[in-house]
Structures are given as structure tokens and as C-alpha cells.
Amino acid sequence: MAISYKCGATQKELENMIENSGDEYDNGISYVMWNAPHTEPHKVKYDCENITGIGDEFNMPGFKPGYAKLHDGTAVRWVGAGGDWEMPLAVCVYIGEDGDLKLYVPKAGNIWNFETGYAYGNDTECSMSEEMEKLGVEAKFDMKAMEDEMLG
């Protein structure tokens, strides 16, 4: 699914919008992750207890958190998010064509249980690593596949 984004949004513009988001209880990227609308059709369920900072890895091989540019130079911010019990998901923060911050969780190149619609680790029968092993899933992320999905 192609996202509708503000073409040419700069990193500074995106940084300012993220930093100025929030309320008296929470601000910045934490507020955005808990409150910005998701635009992907997948509606995967995950927790935002833990959120990568810029350059943090979260043991997500192939995932590069932080600011990046789409093929046309438009700035986005990649964030890893998940609860202590979950395999984190790759989430993209961007400025929508309406000027508001949006979240997109790509399916391609990302890791979650596509059958249940939940991040790995939410199986009540076993742990995250047991669930992934049982289903033959490897913890490996593909940034190009995620961007390709977002751009349609």
C-alpha cells in the first residue's frame, strides 16, 4: 500500500514536529508512537513500552533506526517498538499529505505473526523465541522491502 506523504518534507521539519508533539504527560517520539494514527491496512497489534532512540539497535538485524530519506528525498523516521515480551516491529513515522504525523508498519521486510496480527511474543502457549522457532521465523529485517511496500 502506498502511503500519502508530504513530498519534500525535510528532516528538520519532521524533527520539529516530533519534538513539539505531546501534552503535559508525554512528548516527542513517545507521544507520537502512542497517539499518531496508523495508515497501514495490516493493523498489527504491538506495544510501545520500548522505543528505539536514534542509532539504538534493539537486536533487530538489518533494521536501521533513525532519520532516513525516501527515494525522492522526503524525510522519515524509523523506530523499533515493542513490549519487553515482544519482538520489536519496525515502524515508520512520516508527515502525511495533510500535514499531520502518521505511522506506518510495513508487512514486507518486517517481523510479526501475520496469522494472528500480533507481534511475536503474544502467544500464550510459549515465549517469543519459542513462538518464532516453532513457526520457522528468523529475526531479520529488510529496509528496502519496507520502503518498497510504503511507496507502492
Assigned domain for 63 exists: yes
Assigned domain for 74 exists: yes
Assigned domain for 3 exists: no
Output the CA–CA distances (angstroms, integers) from residue 119 to 84, 91, 116, 149, in the order listed: 11, 12, 9, 19
Q: Which domain holds residue 113?
A: 11-151
Assigned domain for 110 exists: yes
- In this prediction the pTM is 0.93
Assigned domain for 6 exists: no
Number of domains in the chain: 1
How buried is residue 35: exposed, middle or buried, by Cβ count under 10 Å (0-12/13-18/19+)?
middle
Assigned domain for 137 exists: yes
Mean pLDDT of the chain, nearest integer? 92
Assigned domain for 5 exists: no
Assigned domain for 147 exists: yes
pLDDT category at 59 given cuts 50, 70, 90 is confident
Question: What tens digit of pLDDT does each residue of 63-113 get?
Answer: 999 999 998 899 999 999 999 999 999 999 999 999 999 999 999 999 999
